[in-house]
Structure 1
């Protein structure tokens, strides 16, 4: 296929004979092949696209071979390899060639297909307007989808930030309360211990007095002689 396309490039560049054929939008068109061959290729050239190989015709009753199944509804072949284009639209406009399948390759004179000036402004503009509307609808759908995705992502980020802020604030409050409880628990045993120490103090002055009085009584008892 690449070799055929390269041959088509070379042959088409070397040819200059082009005949114009006018048609109306939606009509059927027949293009003649001026090569006296049993088998030919039909080729469409649309600048700046590379040549498109439409089909290969064979002697009747063999049906043609289509390079793309989509061409079956649009193109057909009649006697003497005449190409028939059904329901012409802007997609079929271009320069048509027929080329023999043998070697060396040989191209026919080309036929440029285009619309009449009377039908081109109405039909083509309507089709162009429909295509433009479809493209705008597609673009708006893409924009709406992207906007919805961005809004959803922004909402997720905001929810995450709020959760982080609330959880962080709650943890900070719980940590500060925990530190306060720890400090209070550390101070409370010290105060209780101090209270116990206060209650454990003794009045040694009274103890000394008791010791002295007991010593005096015992001494007096020792000195108290028995009565005769």
Structure 2
């Protein structure tokens, strides 16, 4: 699950919502996945929280896999990975994506779900979004630094291992040469040689 979250951070970090979907509080909503895949993950992004994987859907007759049992009450899937959200509340507002993992991962166009009576973004909301982006960038910088340090440590350990193996091999070759030299130049017993 951590790998999926890292892929999500990379893919979603700078991607803006493509389409808005206005809804009334308490209504049921359907969001289409524009990926033509056999299985997809549905993700919800709510600023400033990290992306949340809601469920993994498969082609029928396989039932979706929910990452949290509480999601079963709110979310369901219809044919071709259409996400249905029942009785929408403020908790379900955010940006929805469907995603196919693999190499390379594919991310659908996003749908931003909000209420029809919502007001335009205020300065406070803009400030929160900027803080989220700055926090995301700081987290990535920390992860890159830690990754670099871990790779450096791994490289040092590999070099130390290789040097140790080389020293042991050289010592083994030296001992074999020494033994061979002793065998070749061992004085012969005059009685056994017939003299």
Question: For this structure pair, what is the TM-score category when the shorter chain's length is used for normalisation?
Answer: 0.5 to 0.7
Residues 64 and 77 in structure 2, CA contact (< 8 A), matched pair in contact too: yes
Matched, 1:77 2:81: no
Which 4+ stretches in 1 moved above 4 angstroms?
none
Greater helix fraction, Structure 1 or Structure 2: 1
Matched, 1:87 2:97: no
Which TM-score applies when normalising by structure 2? 0.59
How far apart in 1 are the matches of 2:98 and 2:45? 11
Matches within 5 A, 1:127-146: none
Matches within 5 A, 1:1-228: 1-117=1-117
RMSD: 1.3
Q: Which has the larger radius of gyration?
A: 1
Q: Deviations over 1:162-211 (max 9, x none)?
A: xxxxxxxxxxxxxxxxxxxxxxxxxxxxxxxxxxxxxxxxxxxxxxxxxx
How far apart in 2 are the matches of 1:89 and 1:68? 18
DSSP-derived class of the 1:91 partner: helix
Which TM-score applies when normalising by structure 1? 0.50
Structure with greater contact order relative to length (CA < 8 Å, sep ≥ 6)? 2
Residues 17 and 95 in structure 2, CA contact (< 8 A), matched pair in contact too: no
Greater strand fraction, Structure 1 or Structure 2: 2
How far apart in 1 are the matches of 2:83 and 2:33? 8
How far apart in 2 are the matches of 1:94 and 1:75? 14
Gap change, CA 1:17 and 1:73, over 3 Å in 2: closer
DSSP-derived class of the 1:55 partner: strand
How far apart in 1 are the matches of 2:89 and 2:17? 24
Q: Give the total of aligned pairs.
A: 119
Deviation at 1:82, TM superposition (A): 0.4
